[in-house]
């Protein structure tokens, strides 16, 4: 209860507050979805590259390809792409792997724009709820000709709750949006640097001297 009113009745009485409830549900859904995606696609570049070199050296390209297809993450997909395009020159293969890195980054950054938009929208909806709550409070004063607590309580509680709820939704959502964006950029940088090493490993396995990319 807030000032004699249930939280549900306060939220239901204001369209901005109802929109904030919807925004909070969407924000939680996006955060959970991205967390699951990042968890499922995590990898260790150093260990993965060492194992790739081991597979390629001991069993050749066929065994390395079979092993790489079992790795359901960006690094595994990079190994598969590199092996399937082994006939290309180093420069051409670098271009192919760079394109794969960009595609992977797009997958990691998927929905992050919507998450950032929700964070900003929640803050603005909180401000809008504050304004509408104050308008309601002053409207009650004008209608009754009195400014007692009972007259303005509903509007004031609506205004304060909208501000608090807007910040409560917006701040964590913005934090997770920035966190996932930073993680996506770091993963892309790791893949790009690893692609150079993949080319070197493959050229050595073929008994060649890798040319500059």
Through-space distance between the first and last CA atoms of the chain, rounded to whole angstroms = 66
What is the 3-class SS of 24-47, one letter each residue? Answer: HHHHHHHHHHHHHHHHHCCCCHHH
Residue-level pLDDT at 198: 93
Residue-level pLDDT at 151: 54
Half-sphere CA count of 197, side-chain side, radius 13 A: 15
Distance CA 2, CA 153 (A): 9
Residue-level pLDDT at 110: 93
In the chain, which stretches have pLDDT less than 70? Answer: 1-13, 140-155, 157, 207-213
The alpha carbon of 94 is separated from its chain's Cα centroid by a whole number of angstroms, namely 27
**Which stretches of 41-159 are assigned E, i.e. beta strand?**
none
pLDDT per residue over 67-98, tens digit each?
Answer: 999 999 999 999 999 999 989 999 999 999 99
Q: Show Cβ contacts of residue 107 under 8 Å, excluding neighbours closer than 6 positions.
A: 37, 41
Q: Show Cβ contacts of residue 12 under 8 Å, excluding neighbours closer than 6 positions.
A: 18
Q: Show Cβ contacts of residue 52 under 8 Å, excluding neighbours closer than 6 positions.
A: 64, 67, 68, 79, 198, 201
Residue-level pLDDT at 213: 40
User: Which H/E stretch holds residue 206?
Assistant: none
Distance CA 144, CA 211 (A): 84
Question: Would the pTM count as exceeding 0.95?
Answer: no
Beta bridge partners of 22: none
Contact 20, 165 (CB under 8 A): yes
Distance CA 132, CA 128 (A): 6
Residue-level pLDDT at 163: 84
Residue-level pLDDT at 1: 47
């Amino acid at each position: 209860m807030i000032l004699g009113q249930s939280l549900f009745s306060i939220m239901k009485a204001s369209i901005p507050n109802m929109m904030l409830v919807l925004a909070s549900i969407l924000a939680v859904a996006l955060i959970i979805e991205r967390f699951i995606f990042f968890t499922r696609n995590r990898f260790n570049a150093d260990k993965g590259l060492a194992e790739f070199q081991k597979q390629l050296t001991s069993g050749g390209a066929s065994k390395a390809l079979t092993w790489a297809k079992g790795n359901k993450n960006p690094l595994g997909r990079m190994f598969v792409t590199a092996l399937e395009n082994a006939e290309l020159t180093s420069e051409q293969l670098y271009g192919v792997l760079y394109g794969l890195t960009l595609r992977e980054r797009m997958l990691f950054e998927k929905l992050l724009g919507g998450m950032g938009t929700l964070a900003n929208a929640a803050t603005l909806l909180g401000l809008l709820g504050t304004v509408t709550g104050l308008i309601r409070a002053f409207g009650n004063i004008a209608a009754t000709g009195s400014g007692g607590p009972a007259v303005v309580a509903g509007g004031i509680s609506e205004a304060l709750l909208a501000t608090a709820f807007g910040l409560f939704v917006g701040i964590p959502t913005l934090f997770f949006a920035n966190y996932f964006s930073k993680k996506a950029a770091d993963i892309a940088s790791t893949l790009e640097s690893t692609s150079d090493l993949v080319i070197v490993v493959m050229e050595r396995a073929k008994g060649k001297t890798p040319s500059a990319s």
